[in-house]
Amino acid sequence: MILKFLNFWNGGTRSVLLAMLAALVLCTGHLAAADAPTKIKLATLAPKGTSFHQILQTMGDKWRQAPGGGVGLTIYTDGTMGGEADMVRRMRAGQIQAAMLSVGGLSEIDDSVRCLQNLPMAFHSLDEVDYIRQKLQPMLEKKFLDKGFIILFWGDAGWVRFFSKQPATLPDEFKKMKMFTWSGDNNQIDLMKAAGYHPVPLEYTDTLTSLQTGLLEAVPTTPFYALAGQFYGPAPHMLELNWAPLVGGTVITKKAWDAIPAATQQELLKAAVEAGDQIRTKSRAESGESVDAMKKRGLTVHAVTPEVEAQWRKMAEGIYPEIRGKIVPADLFDEVLRLLKAHREEAGGAK
């Protein structure tokens, strides 16, 4: 009888101990998961080692030190996650959580953002670009939030210029060339064709090879990207025309953002806004520095006379009816032009 009791007690004790051990392991696992920092994967076309990448790295350092355990940021540069449309698809699939995108990529989420960039020759200065962005920022960020994305910061890389294999200054001269355009942007492709140009839809990462092989003959891009991508080699001519600003922003999925404690979010957003300010300041300064560096390597810069600028402005304004409502939402197209007009009148420089 005593033996049976002891056997029962030993078996019961073992069961209880095993149950307690299992519960302890499970509890410890939950605690470890709670203490582990959130992991965010961010993709960008920006080349590794550039100022864009370095500023994102600094932002990542601040994120790791944020309260509540911080956030670990992994940055994928050089388009290793594909083109910008691919990055948006990956965010929606949960493969990455964030991306630094140009307007081309952001418009895959909501096309309202096109009003900041896709109005050629509308902006007379980068100060005007800043003014319009600040005016429209709350409305744009609400639209992105409704689509499941948080805008962490806005930025730009200065003016888009035209780089070409052959010298050219007039709009009609560029109509003879095969010109880069974003793959998948069918409205832009149709617009260029209607205006008499020859668009070649490609991913941005294919630009250099396409210039080298002759698939492309002209690329609208910023001097910074032309230098970083070495486009100036096969395309050694640059038209010094302020065609349009290259605007962008960095977004994170709302799902990933909501998983971060509110106190941590505040610090992350603060670091992100600082990064956006640094990118705008740095990239605008680097635009001129990039031109100087490329000139030393053989780039020929073609200045724009008032007569040449007038031809480009006439051409740009001539395609506004095709842009309004087809590329840029009609209400935002009108609002940008209204705000610019009022801003110039207030500044005493109506044109």
**pLDDT tens string 249-262:** 999 999 999 999 99
Contact 164, 233 (CB under 8 A): no
Sequence-distant (≥ 6) Cβ neighbours of residue 336 within 8 angstroms: 115, 119, 122, 132, 136, 328
Band of the pLDDT at 1, cuts 50, 70, 90?
A: very low
Whether 325 has a pLDDT exceeding 90, the answer reads yes
State mean pLDDT over 151-179.
Answer: 96
pLDDT tens digit string along 55-109? 999 999 999 999 988 999 999 999 999 999 999 999 999 999 999 999 999 999 9
Separation of alpha carbons 84 and 243, rounded Å: 22
Q: What is the pLDDT of residue 184?
A: 78
User: What would the mean pLDDT of 234-246 be, rounded to a whole number?
Assistant: 96
Percentage of residues in the chain with pLDDT exceeding 70? 89
CATH code at position 136:
3.40.190.170
* Cβ 154 vs Cβ 237: under 8 Å: no
Residues 291-314 have a mean pLDDT of: 97
In this structure, is residue 199 part of a structural domain? yes
Residue 3 in domain: no
Q: Is 16 a member of any domain?
A: no
In a domain, 56, yes or no: yes
**CA geometry: angle at 48 spanning 45 and 52, to 5°?**
70
* pLDDT interval class at 5 (50, 70, 90): very low
pLDDT of the residue at 275: 97
> pLDDT band at 6, cuts 50/70/90?
very low
Give the 3-state secondary structure of residue 75: strand
Q: In whole angstroms, what is the distance from residue 206 CA to residue 130 CA?
A: 30
- What range does the domain containing 248 cover? 38-346
3-state secondary structure of 63: helix
188 — pLDDT class (breaks 50, 70, 90): confident
Residue 30 in any domain: the answer is no
Q: Whole-angstrom Cα distance, residue 228 to residue 248?
A: 18
- Please give the tally of structural domains in the chain: 1
Is residue 43's pLDDT more than 90? yes
Indicate the residue type of 89: R
Lowest-confidence region among 172-181, 186-195, 228-237, 304-313: 186-195
Bridge partner list, 300: 237
Lookup: tokens for 18: 């095993």
Residue 335 included in any domain: yes
Closest CA to 247 of 162, 169, 333, 155: 155
Q: Report, as an integer, the average pLDDT of 162-182.
A: 95
pLDDT given at position 182: 84
Note the pLDDT of residue 348.
Answer: 80
The answer to whether the beta carbons of residues 244 and 120 sit under 8 Å apart is yes
More confident residue, 185 or 323: 323
- Per-residue pLDDT band at 14 (split at 50, 70, 90): very low
Query: pLDDT averaged over the chain?
Result: 89
In a domain, 27, yes or no: no
DSSP letter string over 218-275? Answer: EEEE-HHHHHHTTTTTT--EEEEEEEEEEEEEEEEEHHHHHTS-HHHHHHHHHHHHHH
The answer to whether residues 85 and 286 touch, using CB atoms and an 8 Å cutoff, is: no
Q: Examine residue 19 and state whether it is found in any structural domain, yes or no.
A: no
Alpha-carbon torsion 132, 133, 137, 140, what sign? positive
Question: Over 50: is that where the pLDDT of 2 sits?
Answer: no
pLDDT at 232: 97
Please state the rounded mean pLDDT for residues 141-162: 96
Q: What is the pLDDT of residue 121?
A: 95
pTM: 0.84
